[in-house]
Amino acid sequence: MEAIIIRLTSYKEKDYIVNAFTSEGQVTFRASGALNVKSQFAGKLFLYALVDIELKETKAGFSLVSIKNLNYIAKIFTDYQKIITLNLIGEIMIRTLKDDDSISEAFPLLKNTLLGLPNTSKLLSLSYLFITNLLRVIGLGFVIDRCVNCGVKDDIVGVSFYDGGLICKNCRNTDTMVLNEQQIKIIRYGFMINETQLFRHEFTDEELKDILKRFIVYLEETYNFKIVSSELIY
Ligand SMILES: [Zn+2]
């Protein structure tokens, strides 16, 4: 079973209690002896690692039988910016996905994001498209084909995070984030593609920076938390 590790808690002398996301929701299991350097699990349990696990059911709950890493975790851990991005993605998924249904629906996106992370240098692009796709999956996708307020298709000048969509020049107010043409395209693109297209087109850091910052603030305000790694990604 494929899983993404979201919490590791040491237990007794050498065990871990592991919480993970899977395509069916959240699962908790015990990794006996994982803190022992000679254990077959040693060095394979990392926060936010994508893994293939086999579990067995015991009287005390699920227990780990075998584990294999699915993403190239070594390639991430040798690159400081990739570690920061992994933490950003991890923090966001933990804070926004609370029930089995949403975890299950978002799992293909989480998996594709983690699998792609070692191989891209456009980390802001990946972070941004991860966030827009996550919002779409959890039902907070933005209105991008018309003004979210009045419905006209022309004269789009910005985006309203409060209303969740693009805004025309007549509806523009003090809450509107005014955008240039390229930024309007970027917002449209973010909510148009799906989780299989995260690398079809990658944006440069320069064109994305302001938009990504604003989306991170939006997530922080919507879910009432502070993303620790957000200041470090630029
Ligand atoms: Zn309007």
Sequence spans of domains, the chain: 2-70, 74-232
Q: What is the pLDDT of residues 66-116, one digit of tens each?
A: 999 887 777 888 899 999 999 999 999 999 999 999 999 999 999 999 999
Q: Which residues contact 224 (CB under 8 A, 6 or more apart)?
A: none
3-state secondary structure of 181: helix
Of residues 44, 43, 45, 1, the one with CA closest to residue 21: 1
Please state, rounded to an integer, the average pLDDT across all residues of the chain.
95
Residue 139 has pLDDT above 90, yes or no: yes
Please tell me the distance from the alpha carbon of residue 129 to that of residue 9, in angstroms, as a whole number. 31
C-alpha 141 – ligand 1 centre gap (Å): 18
CA separation, residue 179 to residues 48, 106, 129, 158 (Å): 34, 29, 18, 5
Separation of CA 30 and ligand 1 centre (Å): 54
- For 124-138, what is the mean pLDDT? 97
Tokens 């043409």, located at residue:
181
Residue 228's pLDDT is what?
84
Per-residue confidence (pLDDT) for residue 37, from 0 to 100: 86
2-70 maps to which CATH number? 2.40.50.140
Task: Give residue 107 CA to ligand 1 midpoint distance, Å.
Answer: 35
Q: Residue 213 Cα, ligand 1 centroid: separation in angstroms?
A: 24
74-232 shares the fold of 2-70: no
**pLDDT over 80 at 195, yes or no:** yes
**Which of helix, strand or coil describes residue 213?**
helix
Separation of 222 CA from ligand 1 center, angstroms?
23
Check residue 91 and give its pLDDT: 95
Helix, strand, or coil (residue 53): strand
Going from the Cα of 206 to the center of ligand 1, the distance in angstroms, rounded, reads 28
- Which residues, in sequence order, are bridge partners of residue 64? 55
pTM, whole model, 2 decimals? 0.95
CA of 157 from ligand 1 middle (Å) equals 10
Specify whether domain 74-232 bears CATH 3.40.50.2000: no
Spacing, Cα 174 to ligand 1 middle (Å): 14
Residue 121 pLDDT grade (very low, low, confident, very high; cuts 50, 70, 90): very high
